[in-house]
Structure 1
Amino acid sequence: MPRERLRAAGVVVVQRGPPRRYLLLRSARTRRPTWEFPKGAVEPGESEREAAERELREETGLAPPQCRFWADFRARERYCFRYRRPDGWIEVDKEVVYFLAEDLGGAVVLSPESTAYCWATADEAYRLLRFAEKRRVLRAAEVFLDRLDRATMAARATPV
């Protein structure tokens, strides 16, 4: 069976709260309802970050300055799937690099690729995300934000 490799980039968008809420999109491309983070293919000549920002803008209407990206967050998701083309089946190895961005109050405008969106707490998002790899990406974002919150609190508590 022929194989192909796909590179993609996506964005975990968070409202810092409390409570934190994560933007999830329900895909219009799948038979079963599938919630996921905004993502898409990296185009030739495009960096992963550029692709992530473009996909976020195309799928949700959000873009800087409506959101702020953290430069030091990356999470990777790898998975395989197969699909049927007119000339037979093909197997795809896909890698998605996710960035983390804070929503600063922009309005979500869905593309035809999605049928709905929601702002889910971490617990809700863990239940809605069907695939373990996506839940691992969410966990990485939670760990990153927990560390960031602790560092911010420590800086505020330091006597002057």
Structure 2
Amino acid sequence: MNSRRDPADGPEDVDATFAEIVAGLERDGVGRTWPDGEEPDDEADEAEPAGPIRPEGKPAVATVDDDPDEEPDDGPDDHFVPPDPPPLPVLRAGTIAALLLILLGVVLLLFPGLFGLGSSVGTPLALVVLCSGAGWLVLRIRNGPPPDSGWDDGAVL
């Protein structure tokens, strides 16, 4: 295998190859007719530009306000109104108990004197109660699909 390039493989060879391809396509009839049987309009290049003309002879830039017949797509009162959010689920008894444990732990941490305890006993007890309430909430998290889901419930993460 020869890794050296042939001196004929220069830009001239590329141009000759391209001209050969174009000539072959023209022989086959490709490019002789325009799509939909329309002929190219030579007068289209010489036609006047669309739209109003400035005094300098340059076409003016069309803006939305130039066409008074066209109605704007968005009116001032047309905006997206999201649907009402679904109602919050009803709390079950175990969830309410866990939330009450967390509330009791916060009260015990901030005001241990309400229960007749000193801060040396109330703080560790409050932390245990807080952790118990949080742990109970974590243990109550459902791992399975909701009870009303069908066989095709999409991606489950």
Tell me whether the two structures share a fold, i.e. TM-score over 0.5: no
Greater relative contact order, per chain length (Cα 8 Å cut-off, separation 6+): 1
Q: Which has the higher strand share?
A: 1
Q: Which has the higher helix share?
A: 2
What TM-score, normalized to structure 1?
0.21
What TM-score, normalized to structure 2?
0.22
Highest Rg: 1 or 2? 2
